[in-house]
Amino acid sequence: MKKNLFSLFLFLLLITNAIGQKKHTFEIKDGNFILDGKNIQIHSGEMHYARIPKEYWRHRFQMMKAMGLNAVATYVFWNYHETAPGVWDFKTGNRNIAEYIKTAQEEGLYVILRPGPYVCAEWEFGGYPWFLQKVPGMVIRGNNPQYLAATKAYFTALYGQVKNLLVTNGGPIIMVQGENEFGSYVAQRKDISVEEHKKYSAAVFQQLKDVGFNVPFFTSDGSWLFAEGALPGALPTANGEDNVDKLKEVVNKFNGGKGPYMVAEFYPGWLDHWAEPFPKVSAENVAKQTKKYLDAGISFNYYMVHGGTNFGFTSGANYDGKHDIQPDLTSYDYDAPISEAGWATEKYNAIRELLKTPKTPAIPAKNNVISIPEIKLTKAVSLESLKDKIKPVNDEKPLTFEELNQGHGYVWYSKKFKQPISGKLELNGLRDYAIVYVNGEKVAELNSYYKKYECTIDVPFNATLDIIVENMGRINYGAKIINSTKGIISPVIINGETITGDWNMYPLPMDKMPNLADAKSNAKAGEPTLYQGTFSLSKKGDTFLDMRDWGKGIVFINGINIGRYWSVGPQQTLYVPGCWLKEGANEIVIFEQKNDKLQTSVKSIETPILEDLQPEKGEAK
């Protein structure tokens, strides 16, 4: 009898779930977005699963829903899932994109999927796996068989994860983007014919359809770039276009004289680089533009509605005429309506006032926030102690990260000189940041941001030259994305002589928290150092590590790399999600590259510091 009752209960539960998960229809027809047979206006916000702890996904979706949105857009980061050639990870950490999409559906949001393969997004290498650069004959984002075979494998793997989540299969995914801002790339790569560019974009678009994506497609570009970026069969949308008349005019031109009209990237904030001011966009201006779109029936997607954090080594980099690299901050706060830690801002409230209806839910409670007055650092271990346990790679010349089969982190280059040499050291192939030592004494700091590639050096008889190089993130936007190798990528020159022969290279990927259990404190000021400490908590909560008294490096909390810090600012704190802390004992490891003085403690505070610019602290010496 009990067994029969249990079977009946399961049957009723399945029926209830089936009724609750009503299958929807979505199409682009007669100049409109049509959901379940009715015209709709899309009010979407961009939010990326990889930049938010999995434990907080639901809270952030609830924040979006309470702001009045009906959809979420997300890029898919190819390199976040193909962790090694042919090795796919859609489960660990924040990588379960299917769960992310299902959670959005449970919270009443539709999903706009942006699979790239190129995504930009201020993300490492624009989303490309670093090892693509090692494939003979491959040119990324180009019409060549090696690259197209890789994109096909990526799309196939992704489709396997999300096929049941397409609106055509009862899921929340209503639209998929073909390529990304491709018109911009055509404008940047005039060395390639437009015809060849279009062969490529058509090929990857066809791949999306071939693997099974069967929902409406769209493209996104600046309104002046549609001729190069639009794809037949995909709705063109205009990024950053605030002029409604211009938007309608250009969409009509490339979409058969009709809409629907959408701004796929409406910027309520902007991206941030180290050593540069934190850009701000006023709540008043964002609200005013939002109302303009609402009144004109324009659909939109806030990029970003919630930025989150570039944990680990996931941040990318840009460049300009003054800087060979402009590395992106660890924080991806973006001055977005929902702050990095998930808080409602003045901008959030202004938008909510415009979008809310009687059915709009209340704003969720803020996650608990704590401060830790002092975390004592009980070990200070010279990086050399770790380096000495690594078997070096020896070569006639310095090898790049890629030649060393290393994607991220650091490489220690070392050479013993049997004869003295002095003069100008030239590291024109430095990518991106180096500290130079002679016999353990710091000589100079060189880096690509300040275009500082040389210094005076004096190497005595029987001395050792050490150059510790950091990859600060591969280029994510622009023509130079195809030149994204890291480390020392051209000859080392001293006093006009190319230094060859017997270079030792020690890979330090820092992909896991260094194990210092058996290490002894032996650090000295001026040497790169690993600090370790433990702290105990009676209550968990979000917090912000205060790094204002530090130089440059990375921080691990309970084994998780929470990102880079650099004294130049404007970011001076690192966000620590409370869900990654523990009641009881917690462990912290800090790798401090500059280590101008020995540290004994670090603290956390309850509010972030993202606008404290100290560029003079990064000037290479």
pLDDT tens digits, 468-504: 999 999 999 999 999 999 999 999 999 999 999 999 9
Q: What is the pLDDT of residue 22?
A: 73
Q: What is the pLDDT of residue 17?
A: 43
pLDDT of 81 > 50? The answer is: yes
CB 235 within 8 A of CB 260: yes
pLDDT of 388 > 50? The answer is: yes
pLDDT of 418 > 80? The answer is: yes
Residue ranges in 142-234 assigned as alpha helix (H): 145-162, 182-188, 194-211, 226-229
Instruction: Count Cβ atoms within 10 A of the Cβ of residue 341 and give its class: 0-12 exposed, 13-18 middle, 19 or more buried.
Output: buried
Q: Residue 409: what are its φ and ψ, rounded to 5°?
A: 90, -130
Helix (H) or strand (E) holding 299: strand 299-302
Catalytic residue among 181, 402, 426, 527: 181
Q: What is the pLDDT of residue 619?
A: 78
Q: What is the pLDDT of residue 21?
A: 55
Q: What is the pLDDT of residue 621?
A: 55
* pLDDT mean over 372-392: 97
Q: What is the pLDDT of residue 15?
A: 42
Q: Helix (H, G, I), strand (E, B), or coil: what is residue 536?
A: strand
Q: What is the Cβ-side half-sphere exposure of residue 221, based on CA atoms within 13 angstroms?
A: 26
Q: How confident is the model at residue 364 (pLDDT cuts 50, 70, 90)?
A: very high
Q: Helix (H, G, I), strand (E, B), or coil: what is residue 234?
A: coil
pLDDT of 7 > 80? The answer is: no
**Tokens for 477?**
């936007």
Is 265 an active-site residue?
yes
Q: Helix (H, G, I), strand (E, B), or coil: what is residue 565?
A: strand
Q: What is the pLDDT of residue 4?
A: 53
Report pLDDT digits (tens) over 303-322. Answer: 999 999 999 999 999 999 99
Q: Helix (H, G, I), strand (E, B), or coil: what is residue 534?
A: strand
CB 438 within 8 A of CB 457: yes
Is 181 an active-site residue?
yes
pLDDT of 511 > 50? The answer is: yes
